[in-house]
Amino acid sequence: MKPLNVLLVTYSFPPAGGVGVLRAASLARYLPAEGIRLDVLTTRNASAVGTDSKLLEEIPPQVTIHRTMTLDLPFGLKKWIKRRITGGASQTSAQTATGGAAKPGFLKSLLQDILLPDPQVTWLPVLKRVARRIVKERNIELVLITVPPFSSAMLVEDLRKKFPRLPIVLDFRDEWLSTTIDLVSFSRSARAQRVARAVEQVAVRDATVVVAVTEAARQEIRKRYPQQAESKFQLIHNGFDAALYRDTEGSVISHSADKILLTYVGSVYGSTEPSTLVAALQTLNPEMRSRFKLRFIGHIEEARYREALLQLGDMVELKGFVPQAEALAAMQEADYALLVTHDPLNVAAKFYDYVGSGKPILATVHPEGDVRRLLEELRAGWWADSRDVEGIRKLFIDAAERSASLSTAFQPDRNKIAQYERKVIAKRYAEVLHSIVEGQNQNDSPASRHAS
């Protein structure tokens, strides 16, 4: 098979750390073995929760990485501005005191109406210019753009105008307009909503194929554009890297053998906020509470989430961000992997890492969401409604009663789980990319595709 020249556009890429880089990193790691000659266009100074140089070491040397500067704000400053814009707990207090919604100040209004659809829009001018050059100079046959940040979707229209026959794949790691924009968006103003709808509409119109990572998200995006062909909307899941678990060394962190250890890995933010979990755990009697230790590994976005967790006292341990290998090693010690999500459509990347670790999952989830469905389908753990205090309380009581027989009670479907290995998913993704270009080539010559 002739190698296919693909440009992968991703804002975050190793050595940037965090779960947001893992889909792009895994594609870069495994696509070259599937007949893909890969170029990656990314940033030199991405706003990220931390760095993880080991992830970069895993990228094959034949992958060509193009890095550009971006004017995006540093991670900490951006989060501070977001809190000022969205208001957080302070906005709620203002609403209570005045009996209505607090009017945003001038600076707040200015920021939330300029940095749209997200702060990474400042990368777009450089992104457009460099992407055009790479497509021409590297004889690119297909461009794959992964979002968020959703401002990168604006590249689709620009490339379509410049290269009318170029296949473009738009990869949604998160569904945008029905979930993410309300749960974790930088701005939730009426103008932000309008801009987001307009950006997605144009990007979907001009993309050759739109990829979602859950079936629920695929259907949600697809139903917004009934005039588009069903075949335009495809599903390619996230996954886990089995090799990482084989290579994981024992963690230097230990816990008492008389404690049931639950480890949470990843950021704590809008769609994973822990207030109901905390409320449920506070209803346990002291003896039952003393049996559990909850360890959180990752960035905690807002002070109110940290304060809520700290109300659990000795039950909780906050470790902050650590590189992926260290986080996976710590997970190996856990009795349960702890999952918290209120999202009805998206499945956090951490879910697949949890499944790949072989650890049973204790989850508080949206009862109608894909996480619940996958948990049951893979027999990967136990769940309660993320808004149900009594249900979560019972989830933990059952976990304590199960602890002595956990090795026999937990019977995951390993054959189904194996389908979510990143190497398997990359092979499936490569097949989709090859088929897109083959279909395009039936009607278009390479010369016409790159005519400007």
pLDDT score for 246: 61
Q: Is the predicted pLDDT of residue 96 greater than 60, yes or no?
A: no
Per-residue pLDDT tens digits for 319-377: 998 887 888 888 888 999 999 999 988 898 889 999 999 999 999 999 998 999 999 99
Q: Please give the residue that has the higher pLDDT: either 198 or 106.
A: 198
Class of domain 242-416: alpha beta
pLDDT score for 79: 54
Per-residue pLDDT tens digits for 132-187: 999 999 999 999 999 999 999 999 999 999 999 999 999 999 998 887 776 655 56
What's the average model confidence in pLDDT over 300-327?
91
Chain-wide mean pLDDT for the chain? 86
Provide the pLDDT confidence category of residue 208 given band limits of 50, 70 and 90. very high
Whether 370 and 214 have beta carbons less than 8 Å apart is answered as yes
Per-residue pLDDT tens digits for 26-56: 999 999 999 999 999 999 887 766 778 888 9
Per-residue pLDDT tens digits for 219-273: 999 999 999 999 999 999 999 988 777 654 433 344 456 899 999 998 898 889 9
pLDDT score for 388: 98
pTM of the model: 0.82
Each domain of the chain, given as residue ranges in start order, spans 4-74+119-239+421-447, 242-416
Provide the pLDDT confidence category of residue 17 given band limits of 50, 70 and 90. confident
pLDDT score for 249: 44
pLDDT score for 329: 84
The tokens describing 237, both together, are: 């899941």
pLDDT score for 421: 95
pLDDT score for 47: 72
pLDDT score for 301: 85
Q: Please give the residue that has the higher pLDDT: either 269 or 115.
A: 269
Per-residue pLDDT tens digits for 424-446: 999 999 999 999 999 888 766 55
- Same CATH topology for 4-74+119-239+421-447 and 242-416: the answer is yes
pLDDT score for 154: 97
pLDDT score for 101: 40
Q: Please give the residue that has the higher pLDDT: either 423 or 82.
A: 423
Per-residue pLDDT tens digits for 373-403: 999 999 999 999 999 999 999 999 999 999 8
Q: Which fold has domain 4-74+119-239+421-447?
A: Rossmann fold (3.40.50)
